[in-house]
A and B are shown apart, each in its own frame.
Chain A
């Protein structure tokens, strides 16, 4: 349950954060129930319709009505029923903010922004956040990352023979998970950029967490510091293009940081898949191995649905698919729920930390989606999706393998993705099939044949 009521009494329901057009959105719901058909959390908690967007909007509208409706105007505001507010808080935090409800909403309600604007009001009242989510501001404010790792270890995953510059026009922003928990992804990215002769820099100690978890859970206090710091660090290095292999980071850097940063941001944010597609199309990538797998792609919400309005559908959905299509020997298969109608893995919106059972249930459903199309490997461009889907895969007993797109690409290019020894080796989130500290088992790849490469 959310926090008890003692410290919330008399506090207003809305204390800022909600735009006037968002208050209008509460009245725009036609109750068509379309969102209920698609909500990934309702698919798991089928006995809790109140967690679906339609019900949450109705409840928020009722709470608003009790404070600012006609009755309140004529006869005075009723005291907020704290049980109802707590219930609403529970329902609001049982959401991964994946945004599929917004994609299917007949009224065009921007639900992701709506949930993320409602949550800070609940935090200010003392109702939110949920469970372990309340540690995020403390962890980020103190250590600048959610894993309690040392900032000076930010580049500990970079192999000694890799070339990373102090400053360059291109920067790679790995994010906390690739730096401390899924270092193969970081190594693979660095290796690929080196192999393609792309001079790039990284922020190292100057890289602070993108603070996505804070925005998603409505805890905006530390957010400004992180946004300002990271943007300034990029500017100091003269960066013109920032590459991201983390969906959560690029979402936050593209949409949230500019809202906080009071100044001109001179660089552009580019998903690594977009950059790699360009290199593949230009014939700059040399494949050494072939992937003998039936592969499917899980669209991350953050770099897909969330970004499609900002960067367009091609960058959001087609670029990663084009990269997979170029993998030699890979048999690509699409899941029925894909692109803007994709099923969320369940990790976002603070649900992984706050309601782990719900996150696991969503992940298991996504694994079943992959199995239904006969895929024996699922891949994505989001470390957080990967972590959760691997958990779902393990708990459901599925044999499906999971690897990040960049890791697969590095292996197919014949690059060494071995992580150098570092203090975080024991925390690595390995997929079972990646057991030998390599991305894909040796038997999964074979030397590439000319026929494997499209267009050759």
Chain B
């Protein structure tokens, strides 16, 4: 069963999730429309259109053909080739954070979906949903460690390397600190539940577990919906789109 506390119910969580998704989708629409304010080409007039941005992006991304697009997608978006060329440490950091974050987000979505199936016993699959959630525990933990590893590098890099530290703004600090905090609270929540990978039930505490779980969920949703589309974290969306639009910058 899902883990609720402080008066939260399943229905409230579903409503919150829908609201969060709506804010997130609106955030993307808002930014696409903002970008669509630009022109379609060199020395062109301003357009201010959501669809114009989509059309311009497609035009740029596929300018050199589908194979260049696919090559760029694999080498530069999925494997972060440009980062690897410049700094293997940053590459490890980005790869672990990218795939850790992406997988956890996907697993969270899957978990929520299973909660819905379980709650309403849709098609009589409640038991199966419970099993899927159980099976996802291990990947949840593994990718959590992956994200923790990347987030730790990000924090340490900003603390230890003088050049990087000097160029770090409050903006960077808050957001990298935010990711680190979300990751850590996620682990606390998992450890306090008492079924975590590696540590087992060593930290199990049924009283505080729901509270940490709630804190983690609120922080994650806040990052995902409230911060991501409106802050530096938009680069998670904009950077891959830029790499594709510029055909990898090669």
In the bound complex, how far is the Cα of B248 from the Cα of A103, in angstroms?
A: 11
Band of interface residues on A: 35 or more
The stretch that binds B, out of A24-32, A296-304, A378-386, is: A24-32
Partner pick for A30 among B38, B46, B60, B239, CB 8 A cutoff: B239
The stretch that binds B, out of A11-19, A75-83, A197-205, is: A11-19
Report whether B235 and A29 are in contact in the complex, using a CB–CB cutoff of 8 Å.
yes
Partner pick for B35 among A21, A34, A105, CB 8 A cutoff: A21
If A17-B43, A36-B167 touch, whether A105 touches B87 (CB-CB below 8 Å) is no
Q: Cβ of B103 < 8 Å from any Cβ of A? A: no
If A106-B239, A110-B249 touch, whether A33 touches B167 (CB-CB below 8 Å) is yes
User: A16 — which chain B residues lie within 8 A by C-beta?
Assistant: 39, 43-46
Q: Which A-chain residue is minimally distant from B54 (CB atoms)?
A: A20
Q: Cβ of A102 < 8 Å from any Cβ of B? A: yes
Q: Which B-chain residue is minimally distant from A54 (CB atoms)?
A: B167
User: A37 — which chain B residues lie within 8 A by C-beta?
Assistant: 163
Q: Cβ of B76 < 8 Å from any Cβ of A? A: yes
Report whether B242 and A25 are in contact in the complex, using a CB–CB cutoff of 8 Å.
yes
Report whether B60 and A21 are in contact in the complex, using a CB–CB cutoff of 8 Å.
yes
Report whether A19 and B249 are in contact in the complex, using a CB–CB cutoff of 8 Å.
no
Partner pick for B164 among A33, A106, A108, CB 8 A cutoff: A33
Number of A-B contacts (CB under 8 A): 129
* Interface residue ranges of B1-38 to A (CB < 8 Å): 30-31, 34-38
Q: Cβ of A399 < 8 Å from any Cβ of B? A: no
Report whether A107 and B239 are in contact in the complex, using a CB–CB cutoff of 8 Å.
yes
Which of A15, A21, A25, A104 is packed against the most chain B CB atoms within 10 Å?
A21
* Interface residue ranges of B54-98 to A (CB < 8 Å): 56-57, 60, 76, 80, 82-83, 86-87, 90, 94
User: A15 — which chain B residues lie within 8 A by C-beta?
Assistant: 46
B244 CB → nearest A CB, Å: 9
Which of B36, B38, B86, B167 is packed against the most chain A CB atoms within 10 Å?
B38
Q: Cβ of A22 < 8 Å from any Cβ of B? A: yes
Q: Cβ of A368 < 8 Å from any Cβ of B? A: no
Q: Cβ of A68 < 8 Å from any Cβ of B? A: yes
If A28-B235, A108-B242 touch, whether A23 touches B164 (CB-CB below 8 Å) is no
Q: Cβ of B114 < 8 Å from any Cβ of A? A: no
Q: Cβ of B215 < 8 Å from any Cβ of A? A: no
In the bound complex, how far is the Cα of B249 from the Cα of A279, in angstroms?
A: 32
User: B248 — which chain A residues lie within 8 A by C-beta?
Assistant: 108
Partner pick for A23 among B34, B43, B60, B232, CB 8 A cutoff: B34
Report whether B37 and A23 are in contact in the complex, using a CB–CB cutoff of 8 Å.
yes
If A36-B167, A309-B250 touch, whether A19 touches B39 (CB-CB below 8 Å) is yes
Report whether B46 and A23 are in contact in the complex, using a CB–CB cutoff of 8 Å.
no
In the bound complex, how far is the Cα of B60 from the Cα of A110, in angstroms?
A: 12
User: B232 — which chain A residues lie within 8 A by C-beta?
Assistant: 31
If A21-B60, A68-B37, A259-B42 touch, whether A33 touches B163 (CB-CB below 8 Å) is yes
Can you name 30 A-B residue pairings with CB atoms under 8 Å?
A15-B46, A16-B46, A17-B43, A20-B36, A20-B40, A20-B52, A21-B35, A21-B38, A21-B60, A24-B53, A24-B241, A24-B245, A25-B238, A27-B31, A28-B238, A28-B239, A30-B239, A31-B172, A33-B164, A33-B167, A73-B30, A102-B249, A104-B86, A105-B82, A105-B249, A106-B83, A107-B242, A108-B76, A108-B242, A108-B249
Chain A interface residues (CB < 8 Å from chain B)? 14-25, 27-34, 36-37, 49, 54, 64, 68-70, 73, 102-110, 220, 259-260, 309
